[in-house]
Amino acid sequence: MQKIITFLVLGLSLGVLGCSSKGQKEPVVEDGSALERLPFVYKMPVQQGNIITEDMVDSLRPGMTKRQVRFLLGTPLLVDFFHADRWDYTYTLRRGHEPMETKRLTLFFEDDALARIEGDMRPDPQRAADQEPEALIVTVPDWEDRRGLFKRTIDRVKGEKDEQVQ
């Protein structure tokens, strides 16, 4: 009888203690678990959207067709159904614990020709001219006979045999 009472008291005390912790809320972490915020935990870089470089933007010229722009920059991330003459290119990059980088480029077309460029990157003709490669001169060294002793001997024997056959 004493064992039954002990088990009942123990069960009731565990039940009461379990209910008392029900009202406490766990801390909410915005960026995942608390371990992810530690500096020694690796977070993989995440890239989304179209990667657009300054060289690609410098290649854009007013009057280019949509097909030429698509060849240069790729398919736009966002093509508005109601504004078919506007293409939006967005690129985001999150490296580890650093804040997210965002780059935007918006192209406007008129009659299937590029009319206007807006966004974080703009074409710079001076930058494009600076990156033009100058004349490239390549010097080729003269050929040197670097065959080994064995290979030269075999070639001479073959040469002598070829002369004897003729």
Instruction: Mark out the alpha helices in the chain (DSSP H runs).
Output: 2-20, 54-58, 66-73, 125-130, 149-165
State the pLDDT at residue 162: 46
pLDDT at 50 over 90: no
* Phi, psi angles (nearest 5°) of residue 36: -70, -20
State the pLDDT at residue 165: 43
C-alpha distance across the termini of the chain, in Å: 121
Class of domain 45-133: alpha beta
* Phi, psi angles (nearest 5°) of residue 87: -115, 130
Write out pLDDT tens, residues 6-44: 878 777 776 766 655 555 555 444 555 677 677 777 888
State the pLDDT at residue 29: 45
All structural domains of the chain with their residue ranges = 45-133
How sure is the predictor about 117, in pLDDT bands with cuts at 50, 70 and 90?
very high
State the pLDDT at residue 126: 74
CA–CA dist 43, 29 (Å, integer): 16
- Count Cβ atoms below 10 Å from residue 113 Cβ, excluding itself: 14
Helix (H, G, I), strand (E, B) or coil at 39: coil
0.85 surpassed by pTM: no
Nearest-CA neighbor of 64 among 108, 125, 24, 10? 108
HSE-up of residue 60 (Cα within 13 Å, Cβ side) = 27
> By the 8 A CB rule, do 121 and 102 touch?
no
For the CA atoms of 159, 162, 163, 166, what is the dihedral angle to 10 degrees?
-170
pLDDT at 64 over 80: yes
